Amino acid sequence: MPSFAVTTAAQSYEAIVERGVLGRVAEFIPARTGVVFVVTTEDVWALHGEDVETALESRQWRLILFPGGEERKRLSFVEDMAEQMVEAGGDRSSLVIAFGGGIVNDLGGFLAAIFMRGVPVIQIPTTLLAQVDAAVGGKTAANLVSGKNLIGAFHQPLVVLTDPDVLATLPEREYRAGLFEVIKHGIIRSETLWRLMRDESDRVLERKPEAVEMMVAESVRIKCEVVSADEREGGLRRILNFGHTVGHAYEAETGYGRFLHGEAIGLGMKAAAHLSRLTGRLSPELCEEMVAVIHRYGPFPSLEGIAAPQLMARLVKDKKTIQGRVHFVLATGIGSTEVVAGIEEPLIHQAIESSLR
C-alpha cells in the first residue's frame, strides 16, 4: 500500500495508507516521548482499540474519551481534555494520538497544538471522511456557535496512519457521508477518481476492497500534493473548499445536529455546481452530471425548515469570507477550479435555492 509525503515549512511527514497499520503505531512515537494520550470515542475504542492498546503496551499511555458529535466540537471540551492530561502527568514531552473520525482528528489535533504551547500529534483516521480529508494537512479546529471551525491552528502531525480495514465497521450513513469528500477530490483534481465515482457506484457502495483502496489512496495523494504546495491556504489549498462555503452554512443553520459533515458538503457542492453554471464557468450538461452523481450517494437528511435567505445570512460568518466578500470555489471542468469573490447576490441565492431541491 502507498505512502505519500507532505513537505511544508513546518515539517515533513508521511501519510501512510496500509491495511493493519494500527498495530504499528508505536514505531512512529519518538523514543524520548513521555505520556502518550489517545484521544478517541467510546465506539471507536470498542471496535478498534485492542490493536492500538497492544501496540502501546511498552509505553506509558492514557486514554481520553471524547463524547463525540459536531455539537460538542467546542472549546469547553478541549479544556476538559487538557485538564485530564495535566492530571495524568502530561507535560511538554507528551504526545497525542487522535484516533477517530474527522471531529476527533480536528479536536485532538487542536488539543496537541495548544497543550503546553504545542506537543506532537499522530493522526489515525477511522472514518472515510477523516481518511480522505480531515486527518491530512495539519488543520485543527473547534466550532463556535456562530460558525464552524472558527477557532483553530495549523499543527502538522508526525505521521498520518490510515488503515482501510477499519472502514468495514463504519455505519452506512457515515460511509456515504465520506463519499461526498471523495467526489469533491474528483471534481477539483482527478478525472480518474471522478470516473470511478460516476461509473462504478455499485462497487463503491458495496465497499469492494479495490474501490475503497483507490478512493482513499487517490484522495490522500491529492491532499498531500495540495498541502505541500500551500500549507496555510493562501492559494492552491483553497480549492479543497469546493462545496464548503454553503455546506458550512447548512451545518451552522441546523445547529450541527442534523447533517453529518459530508452530507452538508454534498449539498454545498450542489450549490457550487449551480453557481459555476450560473456564472458561465461550467456547462449545463456537466453541472447536471455533477448533481446527479452527488444524489447517487445520498439520501440527504430532511431539508424542512431551511430556506435560502437563512443560508445566505450564514455565509458572511464563514471563515472564507474576507472583508465582507464571500469567496467561492467554482468548477470550470473536471479537475479544474477557480476561486471567485464578488458574485452578485441574486446568483448566489439562485444557486442555494437549487441545492435545496
> In terms of Cα–Cα distance, which of 179, 189, 195 is closest to 127?
179
On whether the CB atoms of residues 148 and 231 are closer than 8 A, the answer is no
- Distance separating alpha carbons of residues 343 and 135, to the nearest angstrom: 32
Number of other residues whose CB lies within 10 A of the CB of residue 271: 27
Catalytic residue flag (residue 248): yes
Which position among 148, 221, 258, 261 bears the catalytic label? 261
**139 carries an active-site annotation:** yes
173, amino acid identity: R
In tens, the pLDDT along 36-91 reads 999 999 999 999 999 999 999 999 999 999 999 999 999 999 999 999 999 999 99
Q: Give the model confidence (pLDDT) of 25-36 as tens digits.
A: 999 999 999 999
Return mean pLDDT, the chain.
95
Residues 330-339: what's their mean pLDDT?
97
Look at 57-61, 255-259, 320-324, 344-348 and tell me which has the smallest mean pLDDT: 320-324
- Catalytic residue flag (residue 237): yes
pLDDT band at 121 (very low <50, low <70, confident <90, very high): very high
Q: How confident is the model at residue 147 (pLDDT cuts 50, 70, 90)?
A: confident
208 in active site? no
181 is an active site residue: yes
Residue 251 catalytic?
A: no
Which residue of the set 70, 174, 231, 233 is catalytic?
233
- β-strand pairing of 95-100 with 36-40: parallel
Active site residue 149: no
Q: What is the pLDDT of residue 232?
A: 87
User: Mind listing the pLDDT tens digit for each residue in 152-164?
Assistant: 999 999 999 999 9
Catalytic residue among 32, 57, 117, 210: 117
Q: Is 223 a catalytic residue?
A: yes
Q: What percent of the chain has pLDDT over 70?
A: 97
Q: How confident is the model at residue 325 (pLDDT cuts 50, 70, 90)?
A: confident
- The active-site residue out of 70, 174, 181, 263 is 181
From 48, 237, 258, 277, the catalytic residue:
237
Active-site residue, selected from the candidate residues 48, 73, 74, 139 = 139
Cell for 14? 508521511
β-sheet bridge partners, residue 124: 99
Residue 357 to residue 347: CA distance in whole angstroms: 16
Band (318; pLDDT cuts 50, 70, 90)? low
Q: pLDDT band at 319, cuts 50/70/90? A: low
Task: Point out the catalytic residue in the list 73, 148, 198, 248.
Answer: 248
The answer, yes or no, to whether residue 320 has pLDDT greater than 90, is no
Q: Is the pLDDT of residue 324 over 70?
A: no
Residue owning grid cell 441565492: 349
Q: Are 88 and 55 in contact (CB under 8 A)?
A: no
Q: What pLDDT digit, counting tens, does each position of 179-203 carry?
A: 999 999 999 999 999 999 999 999 9
- pLDDT reported for residue 103: 95
